[in-house]
Amino acid sequence: MKRRDFFRAGAAVTLAAGLNFDKLHAALESNNVIVEAVPDMVAVMGGEPAVMLDKAFEALGGISGYVKKGQSVVIKPNIGWDKKPDFAANTNPDLIAALVKKCFAAGAKKVTVFDHTCDNWQKCYQSSGIEQAAKAAGAVVAPGNDEVYYKTVSIPRGVKLKSAKIHQALLDADVWFNVPVLKNHGGAKMSIAMKNYMGIVWDRGYFHDNDLQQCIADICTWNKKPALNIVDAYRCMRKHGPQGRSVSDTAVLKSLIVSPDIVAADVAAIKLFNQVESMEVSSIGHILNGEKLKLGTQNIDKLNIKRIKV
């Protein structure tokens, strides 16, 4: 998909709306206000992470629609690997800092950032830049390296996964945001919003031993869903994921995809990924299984998508 195609539909809608003077005049005459529906998805391209996040929340009506005064918030990035930000193995730290600040601006009493890392958790937190960025913005950065931090919960809609040990920070949170990075993955084929759930559990070895693609979909049926899935596609890992071998394995896309629909967010991210590498959605089992479990839709053409070019 070319960038010009990415925005063509959005530009056409904007132009048409701008030319609808009769509708605008009638609304003003009747003292009615034209209210644009909140989109099902926002896709932003061409800016720095904080700027794109601002644009996304403007289109969604503001952060106050998701975080209320006095609430406890969890932000769950991908911090799985002891890699610097330019490897795109982890979520962009500037995006996490910007989201933490927005949550506090909305009145959050506490913002916690954590991940159950694959490499040494302290090295991952430091090398990714996320620990420093999150703390500087006022967040608590919690470890996820010990089973004591997790509590068993039921996953009644799971096919293979019927229970899981989930981090206590999430269990205690009033609201949470799922903030993955867009990347290739050797085992799951792609690691985006659905795959990012594996960092909220302790017993992920079970996933690998009992149908990884089904278990990823199963854990996403947990009844405490994220307020939004915010896919960091500023820099994506196009091959040799999930760690990457060198910076040459990455591509700079300067994009952000935001949606409450986790299946749609992953599908849209893969379409973006296909600008630099080929990947068929139909080859990714956890996305297909997620739709079967009614987690969301693959048919993003039927969604109200707001496309923004910075």
Q: Which of the two residues, 9 and 229, has the higher pLDDT score?
A: 229
Reply yes or no on whether the pLDDT at 160 is more than 90: yes
pLDDT average, residue stretch 172-184: 97
Check residue 35 and give its pLDDT: 54
Check residue 33 and give its pLDDT: 46
Check residue 23 and give its pLDDT: 40
Check residue 105 and give its pLDDT: 97
pLDDT average, residue stretch 209-231: 97
Q: How many CA atoms lie within 13 A of 151 on its CB side?
A: 6
Confidence band, pLDDT 50/70/90 cuts, at residue 288 = very high
Nearest CA among 220, 226, 215 for reference residue 178: 226
Q: Where are the domains of the chain?
A: 36-309
Strands 250-259 and 189-191, by their bridges, are unpaired
pLDDT tens profile 2-26:
444 544 444 433 333 333 434 434 4
Task: In whole angstroms, give the CA distance from residue 44 to residue 49.
Answer: 10
| Topology adopted by domain 36-309 | Rossmann fold (3.40.50)
Task: In whole angstroms, give the CA distance from residue 159 to residue 59.
Answer: 36
pLDDT tens profile 50-85:
999 999 999 999 999 999 999 999 999 999 999 999
pLDDT tens profile 98-157:
999 999 999 999 999 999 999 999 999 999 999 999 999 999 999 999 999 999 999 999
